[in-house]
Amino acid sequence: MDATLTKVFIWDMDETLILLKSLLNGTFAQSFNDLKDADKGVQIGRMWENHILNVCDECFFYEQIENNNTPFLDALKQYDDGRDLSDYEFDRDGLCPPFDDLSLKKIAYRHRAIAHKYKEVFYSISQSHFSLVYYLVKCSSLFFQGLQNIFDKEMLRVWDELYDMTDEYTDRWLSSGTC
């Protein structure tokens, strides 16, 4: 029998996405019979949308690799030569279609960089004493401890403020599901 400890992380995104969509389209406020300011909810939803897209682009190369339908990060591993990426200039390597072997190599580099960022984010969580961690957007401070590895202090402050603003607007919907 394998005696290794398996840690399971569950991110309940479906309810979170439903909440964010309901903020964006105003249905969250409508469900309160106009007791909530619909414009404020839409504004909060747009802020989430913008921040999420910015993180996808800035940290995970979304805009650069979105047209390459790779099912998982290791799918292009055979194109990765293991080059040290610490000084690699992703924005200057000329990645563009068509996706020939050279382009796939550049995408493989991005996939490795993304995998490294995931490890940075979740390292502090995996070092915790929890064998099962359930979090929606912000599970206490565990997730944000991990984000400190890829966000600067200003970005963490912005996300914390957006979280708090959303939690207040939604009558503590977000914090009701945290660890």
Segment 44-59 shows an average pLDDT of 89
Is the full-model pTM beyond 0.95? no
Active site residue 12: yes
Phi, psi of 61 (to 5 degrees): 55, 30
- Domain extents in the chain: 8-171
Q: Is 14 annotated as a binding residue?
A: yes
Phi, psi of 3 (to 5 degrees): -95, 10
Q: Are 95 and 66 in contact (CB under 8 A)?
A: no
In this prediction, residue 16 carries a pLDDT of 76
Active site residue 14: yes
Active-site position among 2, 14, 81, 152: 14
Who contacts 158 (Cβ-Cβ below 8 Å, separation ≥6)? 51
Q: Is 93 annotated as a binding residue?
A: no
Active-site position among 12, 74, 160, 171: 12
pLDDT per residue as tens digits for the range 125-173: 454 433 333 333 444 444 555 667 778 888 888 888 998 999 999 998 8
CATH of domain 8-171: 3.40.50.12350
In this prediction, residue 105 carries a pLDDT of 96
